[in-house]
Amino acid sequence: MIDGLDHVVVAVRDLDSSAEGYRQLFGRAPVILTGGGARRAWFQFPNMALELIAPEQGAGGEGRAGDRARAWLEKGEGVCALAFHAPELEATGKLMARRGLGAGEPAVSHLKDERGRDHVLRAVRLDPAATGGLEMVLIGRGEPIHPPEPQGPAPIAALDHVVVTTANPDRALAVYGAKLGLDLRLDRENTGWNARQMFFRCGEAVVEIGARIGGPVSDQPDRFGGLAWRVADPLAAQARIAAAGFDVSEVRTGRKPGTHVFTVRNAPGGIPTIMLSHQPAASHESA
């Protein structure tokens, strides 16, 4: 079964520029990986990873990963896939196939980092026609990709949640709950926001499904929304990110009681991005 969110995939056109942008945003450096016709910048967090991917140029861009990255970029930069960790990959793939998610056979990706170390990812791709139109894979891995230590003050601590928007809430309930087997923790409507929100726990992160209340139900594909990241000290994180040249909002009280959030308006790749803390915001005097 799925025991967590392994990583979120973001397609970018310029890997070096995007990786540097996220290095400054996160306060931590990536591991650069090559293989399968693509280059990747892998930002590892305690509960998941963010993978930036771009096709290699020239003859080096030939391969399954490079072809897929080019196909994603035809639709634009941004979040393009969710990868779920499944320790028993083959058995979980067969279960997903029986549940109607069209799981394929495991494929192996051989990657090499900038120090020449080898990394192996084993993946089972699910059929987007059965997942609500989104790219999803199951991941079984060997040795973890060890990241560098965080750099400087107030680094981003972890992913809190990834947002998916849908015009078919019942389909989403079936895909994420009954078929993927994620834990539905909350299903609520808020007329003030004209939103229905469903929160599925996935290991130490959450997949949030959003839909408009009273909107027409359709078979239109779901869409990836934004990413919400956890910070220990929102004021310190906001100051660091602003000093790095990002356009950030003021720290404000979050919708969830006890939270404080701020928005990063120009995150690399144009991804809607918020930072949140579950602790009370410290004052500048006490920071």
82-91, 204-213, 256-265: which has the minimum mean pLDDT?
Answer: 256-265
Per-domain residue ranges for the chain? 4-139, 156-277
Burial class (CB in 10 A: 0-12, 13-18, 19+), 283: exposed
Domain covering 156-277, topology: 2,3-Dihydroxybiphenyl 1,2-Dioxygenase; domain 1 (3.10.180)
**Residue 142 pLDDT:** 65
Contacts of 226 (CB under 8 A, 6+ apart): 162, 163, 271, 272, 273, 274
Task: Give the Cα-Cα-Cα angle 270, 272, 196 (nearest 5 degrees).
Answer: 145
Does position 58 have pLDDT exceeding 80, yes or no? Answer: no
**Residue 287 pLDDT:** 29
Does position 216 have pLDDT exceeding 90, yes or no? Answer: no
**Bigger pLDDT: 84 or 118?**
84
pTM above 0.85, yes or no: yes
Domain covering 4-139, topology: 2,3-Dihydroxybiphenyl 1,2-Dioxygenase; domain 1 (3.10.180)
Is 156-277 the same fold as 4-139?
yes
